[in-house]
């Protein structure tokens, strides 16, 4: 599999925010969101076997497999299964456009899947059948950049049967956070509004 970077940090967003985590960022993505902050992962990187990745990870409690889009890597399912076999919690961050039906049903695997809002330019690329894969331990993220995005996100949550935890986050990590919270409260939505903690701590830096 082609790896962009492997690094130790804390989980920056979602249900495991603040938890110490080893991040494995793969190379390549099939989407081109207008506000993407990891475009450096689209090309390059280092070809590594699953064994080599596991050696680099070492002993840890939690691994986040992210990208780019990690499910484009043929060896990602094997890496996930081997980490689960070690009883490591795995967080899979995926962009919502690839089939997730083959993933193992394991309590230690948390799927963090996006639904792209209109400002991303990628809304029509979503694979909505993946909603059936997500359970109560998983999370569905909608990243919101403007009023149109917010209207879309509110309608999406109301119109779909979602078993996963729903997270609304602002584009940029903290921009317009108060505005987003106020709208969620007004709509009486059962969602979490979360910034990106790593951007609050370190700003827009790679490898954190």
* Residue 11 neighbours by CB distance under 10 Å: 19
| One CATH from 1.25.40.10, 3.90.550.10, 3.20.20.70, 3.90.1150.10 for 2-202 | 3.20.20.70
Q: pTM for the whole thing?
A: 0.92
pLDDT tens digits, one per residue of 49-83: 999 999 999 999 999 999 999 999 999 999 999 99
pLDDT tens digits, one per residue of 88-134: 999 999 999 999 999 999 999 999 999 999 999 999 999 999 999 99
Domain boundaries, the chain: 2-202
Give the separation between CA 119 and CA 57, rounded to whole angstroms: 35
Give the separation between CA 169 and CA 176, rounded to whole angstroms: 10
């Amino acid at each position: 599999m082609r790896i962009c970077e492997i690094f130790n940090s804390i989980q920056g967003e979602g249900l495991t925010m603040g938890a110490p985590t080893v991040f494995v960022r793969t190379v390549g993505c099939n989407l081109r969101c207008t506000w993407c902050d990891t475009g450096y992962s689209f090309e390059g990187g280092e070809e590594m076997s699953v064994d080599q990745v596991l050696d680099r990870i070492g002993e840890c409690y939690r691994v986040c497999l992210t990208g780019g889009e990690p499910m484009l890597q043929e060896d990602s399912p094997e890496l996930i299964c081997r980490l689960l076999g070690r009883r490591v919690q795995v967080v899979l961050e995926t962009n919502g456009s690839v089939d997730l039906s083959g993933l193992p049903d394991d309590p230690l695997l948390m799927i963090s899947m996006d639904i792209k809002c209109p400002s991303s330019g990628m809304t029509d690329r979503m694979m909505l059948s993946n909603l059936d894969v997500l359970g109560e331990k998983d999370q569905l993220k909608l990243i919101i950049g403007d009023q149109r995005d917010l209207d879309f996100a509110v309608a999406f949550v109301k119109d779909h049967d979602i078993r996963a935890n729903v997270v609304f986050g602002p584009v940029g990590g903290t921009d317009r956070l108060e505005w987003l919270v106020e709208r969620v409260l007004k709509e009486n939505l059962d969602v979490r509004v979360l910034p990106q903690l790593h951007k609050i701590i370190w700003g827009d830096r790679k490898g954190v």
